[in-house]
Amino acid sequence: MKKFAPLFVIIAASLWGVDGIILRPALYSLPVPLVVFIESTIVVLLLSPILGKHIFNIKNLSKSDITYFFFVGLFGGAIGTMAITKALFYVNFVNLSVVILLQKLQPVFALILAAIILKEKLPREFFYWASLAILGAYLMTFGLHLPNFNTGKNTVIASFLSLIAAVSFGSSTVFSKRALKNVTFEVGTFLRFFFSSVIMLIISSLTGDILRIEMISTTQILVFILIAFTTGGAAIFLYYFGLKSITASVATICELAFPLTAVVLDYFVRGTVLSLIQWIGIVILITSIIKVTGISFSSNRK
């Protein structure tokens, strides 16, 4: 199954695209810290049997291992998720191009950190296809135009939040790779959401949003549960399974499936018409991801 590891990361990233277009809009009326706390806590409860089964291994983790999982929970589970959720709320899930901008920059931060923290060394061919992947993702979203930041204050704020999310998720990819070094992907998934839940409990308590839990409707409860079983817990489960067998550098390029899925779904859900240049960008992006994963296969065979 290891040779299919990049595919699991791609599937996970595609599920995140579904989350942003199909599921998360139903939570628009709720405070962002409360949203992130609830979705993290539900996954922790669902995965709690893992704690009992692997409690001995978890208790024997080093302080370094625990620290990296804390960083994953802080940057990926808390800061990154709050930033992307708030950005989507600010543009009312309509002007998605600005929010999806984060996925163009995330690989840049992840590649830099992977080289510094994980000492990952990649062939020159990787950087060629990685650059093409980022270019393809840009063309897919903006065509030959520059991003439009002149559509109001909310768009500017969303852009800033997108940059925060880019840094956070890029960091989380690298921290996750290191954190998974001495645990199974099941334990890794539990610890990621456990730390996210604890951090978000503190944040939502300090902001007072935890007291607004009564605002959650029955429909929104169902959406939270659906997220836990699909784009939330299940997606991270698949993501960590794949990440165990590939480098963080390859994983961050595979994660560009997120904006690809979001743009395609936006076409089917809202009828957003793509130009010829955007379709060319999609072809470049898909081709580049395939090439990058091919490099990963070659590395595994060696």
Q: Give the pair of three-digit tokens for residue 24.
A: 């998360």
**pLDDT of 186 strictly over 80:** yes
- The average confidence (pLDDT) of the chain is 88
pLDDT band at residue 35 using 50, 70 and 90 as cut-offs = very high
Report pLDDT for 149.
61
Q: Residue 103: what pLDDT?
A: 61
Mean pLDDT to the nearest integer, 43-69: 91
Nearest CA-CA partner of 106 in 294, 273, 286, 259: 259
Return the beta strands (E) in 79-230 as ranges: none
- DSSP state, residue 29: T
DSSP state of 139: H
pLDDT of residue 151: 59
Domain map (residue ranges) of the chain: 2-301
75-119 confidence digits (pLDDT tens): 999 999 999 888 888 877 666 666 766 666 788 889 999 999 999
pLDDT exceeds cutoff 90 at 179: yes
CA dist 26 and 206 (Å) reads 25
For 67, other C-beta atoms within 10 Å of its C-beta total 14
Other Cβ atoms less than 10 A from the Cβ of 56: the count is 7
How buried is 182 (Cβ within 10 angstroms: 0-12 exposed, 13-18 middle, 19+ buried)? middle
Token pair in block for residue 80: 């990154």
Q: Answer for the pair 26, 273: CB distance below 8 angstroms, yes or no.
A: no
Average pLDDT of span 125-138 = 90
- State pLDDT tens for residues 146-172: 766 665 677 778 878 888 998 999 999
Close Cβ partners of 246 (under 8 Å, ≥ 6 residues apart):
5, 6, 9, 254, 296, 300
What tokens appear for 98 in the block? Answer: 């600005």
Percent of the chain having pLDDT more than 70? 91
Query: What is d(CA 46, CA 231) in angstroms, rounded to the nearest whole number?
Result: 14
User: Distance from CA of residue 120 to its chain's centroid?
Assistant: 21
